[in-house]
Structure 1
Amino acid sequence: MSFEDLPKKPTGVMLGEALDLLSVSELEHRVSQLEAEIQRVKAAIQSKQASKNAADAFFRS
């Protein structure tokens, strides 16, 4: 068996993943990744809400 055959550690955040085996550094990195994703999702929500509001305003006039 070579090193290439060993399972690779997932690079992204997996929701519900066991946290017991992660170091403090890994947990802090995970938090920063999740916070960045939250900001990305909030920006998408704002963009979609602005589009919806513009469409609503257009069809009301």
Structure 2
Amino acid sequence: MDDDFFSSRPEDPLVQLARQDLDPLSQDELEARIAALEAEIERVRSHQEAAFRHRSAADALFKR
């Protein structure tokens, strides 16, 4: 039996993404993938910056 079949936690999507075979993709598909990944990087950076600002505001509020 496959142990992952009963796993309560799905595999990390980044791991799945890194394992994907890129050979069958066309140049256009590769460009679209790069654009999508760059957009995701920007989304994560934006979230990270917002979380940093939120944490800094909370630290300033509760600073002794």
The TM-score with structure 2 as length reference comes to 0.70
**Paired position in structure 2 for 1:35:** 38
Alpha-carbon offset, residue 54 of structure 1: 0.2
Unaligned residue ranges in structure 1 (runs of 5+): 1-13
Q: Deviations over 1:4-60 (max 9, x none)?
A: xxxxxxxxxx51210000001100000000000000000000011000000000111
Q: Kindly, what percent of the aligned residue pairs are identical?
A: 44
Q: State the AA in 2 paired with 1:15.
A: L
**Paired position in structure 2 for 1:15:** 17
Runs of 4+ in 1 over 2 A off after TM superposition: none
Using CA pairs under 8 Å that are at least 6 residues apart, name the structure with larger relative contact order, 1 or 2.
Answer: 1
Q: What is the Cα-based RMSD across aligned positions, in Å?
A: 1.1
| Higher relative helix content | 2
Unaligned residue ranges in structure 2 (runs of 5+): 1-15
**Paired position in structure 1 for 2:58:** 55
